[in-house]
Structure 1
Amino acid sequence: MSMRLPSLTSLRAFEAAARLRSFKKAAEELAVTPTAISHRIRDLEEYFESPLFLRKVREVELTPNGLTLFTAVRNGLESIAAGVEQVRNAGRASVTLSTTPAFASKWLVPRLASFQAEHPDIDLHVHASNTPVNLNSATADLAIRYGHGPFEGLAATLLMEDHFAPVACPSLLTTLGQDATQWPLIHFDWDRPLMVDLTWDAWAQAAGYASASLEHGICYSEESHAIQATVAGHGVALLSLLLVEEELDQGLLRVVSEPVLKGMSYHILKSRNRPTSEAVSAVEAWLTRMSRHAPETP
């Protein structure tokens, strides 16, 4: 039975506009005009008889129906891309590993040369996104995710436990007093609610300060940007000691003060419903071995 679906061209335009929150940026990415993107989105909205975007002055925002469609389309395109790669590289072992952008850039990428040296016959594809992938749909073979679980329907292996502490660059550290309410602070937004409070407000209460006394400062939407700003000396940030391990080892950052907050844990996840290939097992074993060098809590 054939399925009546919108055109793939319209769905690609929709996915790009939703991901980039801009018709103009979507047009640039797809090498078409913004008018063409608008027409394709309008065709989809007529098809569904429902608006998919809220049009604002400088960006667009998904409606509830738009968010539902975006999740489905994004997973579908990722699955197609994974299938294409598997066919293109049928003669080589290929493993797709999904994780968050911050973990990928700060912990995983600096170690990938080691993996390539050990396993030159395995093509490792790193999928960096804050949106969890469906491991049962072959979008990815493994995922590294942050949390306590339970991870329903998935096999989970503890990789590392995390801790958070205030850190700053050495030049800024010399100018800071003991009163944290006077520090220039750096914040970042978590992409989802957490089971453990890892904000400056939680640290303030643990350190004996009044609640909401450490809400001032600059806020970033991405954790890795907050790390870069801290290294640049823009302020003090409450950061994962795992993700700034290299900066601490090199003396680019130092822990400013106690207390240290216990964070959550990184886990390796894989589907219980799919067979585990030798290449996937090799990646999992390598990740486990690399995690043994994680920094200890100060």
Structure 2
Amino acid sequence: MDARTPPLNALKVFEAAARLRSFKKAAEELHVTPTAVSHRVTQLEDVLGMSLFVRDAHGVELTPAARACLPTLQRGLDNVRDFVEQLKLHPQSEVITVRTSPSFSMRWLMPRLHRFIVGHPGVDVYVDTYARLFMELRPGDARSGLPDAGGDQADITLIYGAGNVPGLLTERLLDAAVTPLCSPALLARHPPLTSPDQLDAFTPLHCDRDAIYGERSLWQLWLDAAGAGHIRTDHGLRFTQASLAIEAAVDNMGIVMCFPVLAAAELEAGKLVAPFDLTIPLASGYQLISSKAANRRPAVMAFKRWLHAEADATRLADRTRWATRAPAPATTRAT
């Protein structure tokens, strides 16, 4: 505040004394002592460098200058009261911070987030995608996705990992499984794909997430389970994010080994298909991680309940999709 600006409290006291023409009546209205009123008026006069009242044995009277300016002050105080009342009608939105990987944010969270916003207009959601955290993640080390990146801790972290994080609350949100996906147009360019042995004729598409499995990539995990571990997949195109690898598959650039949950929109639209019905479940999955302090906030708990409801709907949609797809060749069925 500018040093020449009178204190608001002193202006309020002066207005009451000027309107009532009495320090005693002003004190009664403001629930203070007459001495306190006199002190505030004197303080205001010192700041302004002029007298505001003429004091005599009969009481106090406004100076001509004070009388002329009093209506302006009263309008200003009325505006302040209106300002406060209007603020009460628009309570500040509560903000929750959600941290997750770019691919999971773009492909699962963001297409659904509007439903939470509509149902919870008093809550703002800040989505933080800090890619490098998740590229460095290893199963069983979910804490590596929870550092204080950007200066403050997330209320909720949605992260791919194996299990509990000491000191934090961990809930399984979605299971993970892998299967190869490609575009129908790509399949049409080749002879009918009836066996995993034929995959060596296609370009494999990789995401850096493969590295979290150490020496075995997602491709190797699936091929070993399909009895085609001899197929080489150490070539092809590599991407830093699963979403980029999925887009490459849509563009007929090869076959991607990924989580169907991340490609649900493309599968639903027929832009991608699963040429085999062998899907390998993984021990790790998408975890919902929060602190005990965050869970004491109603907005955080509301968001967690909404996440679980959306995850339930995702599982139901996945079961329906796989149950209604065309049967795969018998040689590719899981046992």
- Shorter-chain TM-score above 0.5: yes
**Of the candidates 133, 137, 146, which is equivalent to residue 133 of structure 1?**
146
| Identity over aligned pairs, percent | 26
Instruction: Report the alpha carbon displacement of residue 128 of structure 1 after superposing the two structures with TM.
Output: 0.9
Amino acid in the other structure paired with 1:124:
V
One of 277, 287, 291 as aligned partner of 2:297: 277
Q: 1:239 corresponds to which residue?
A: 258
Q: Which runs of 4+ in 1 moved over 4 A?
A: 195-198
SS in 2 for 1:204: helix
TM-score by length of 1: 0.64
Q: Which amino acid aligns with 2:105?
A: A
C-alpha displacement of 1:160: 1.0
- TM-superposed deviation, 1:286: 0.8
2:171 to 157, 169, 174: 157
Structure 1 match to 2:278: 259
Deviates more, 1:211-220 or 1:91-100: 211-220
- Residues of 1 paired with 2:161 and 2:309: CA distance? 20
Greater mean deviation of Cα atoms: 157-166 or 271-280: 271-280
Q: Is the 8 A contact 1:167 1:238 kept in 2?
A: yes
1:147 and 2:161 correspond: yes
Quote the residue 1:174 is aligned against. 188
Which residue does the alignment assign to 1:66? Answer: none
Mapped partners of 1:246, 1:278: distance in 2: 31
Instruction: Report the TM-score, using the length of structure 2 for normalisation.
Output: 0.58
Q: Which residue does the alignment assign to 1:109?
A: 110
- CA deviations 1:213-235 (Å, max 9, x no partner) are 22221111221110111111111
Residue 226 in structure 1 maps to residue 245 in structure 2: yes
The residue identity in structure 1 corresponding to 2:188 is: T
The verdict on how the C-alpha distance between 1:244 and 1:156 changes in structure 2, with shifts beyond 3 A counting, is same
Native 8 Å contact 2:98 2:127 kept in 1 = yes
Counterpart of 1:190 in 2: which secondary structure?
helix
Code of the aligned partner of 1:155: L
- Aligned-partner SS, 1:139: coil
Question: Which protein is bigger by CA-based radius of gyration?
Answer: 2
Does residue 97 in structure 1 map to residue 120 in structure 2?
Answer: no
Residues 200 and 232, structure 2, Cα contact 8 Å, conserved in 1:
yes
Aligned pair in 2 of structure 1 residues 203, 275: CA closer, same or farther (>3 Å)?
closer
Distance 2:295 2:170 in 1: 15
Greater helix proportion: 2
Q: What runs of 5+ residues in structure 2 fail to find an aligned partner?
A: 1-89, 134-144, 323-335
The 1:256/1:275 distance shift into structure 2, 3 A limit, reads: closer
Closer, same or farther in 2 for the Cα pair 1:274/1:258, shift >3 Å? closer
| Structure 1 counterpart of 2:4 | none
Is there any run of 5+ residues in structure 1 with no aligned partner, and where? 1-88
Instruction: Kindly report the root-mean-square deviation, in angstroms, between the aligned alpha carbons of the 2 structures.
Output: 2.5
Whether the 8 Å contact between 2:181 and 2:274 is mirrored in structure 1 is yes
Distance in 2 (alpha carbons) for counterparts of 1:194 and 1:201:
10
CA deviations over 1:105-146 (Å, ceiling 9, x no partner): 1001111111111111110000112412347x8521011111
- Aligned mates of 1:155, 1:98 — CA distance in 2: 15
Deviation at residue 176 of structure 1 after TM alignment = 3.5
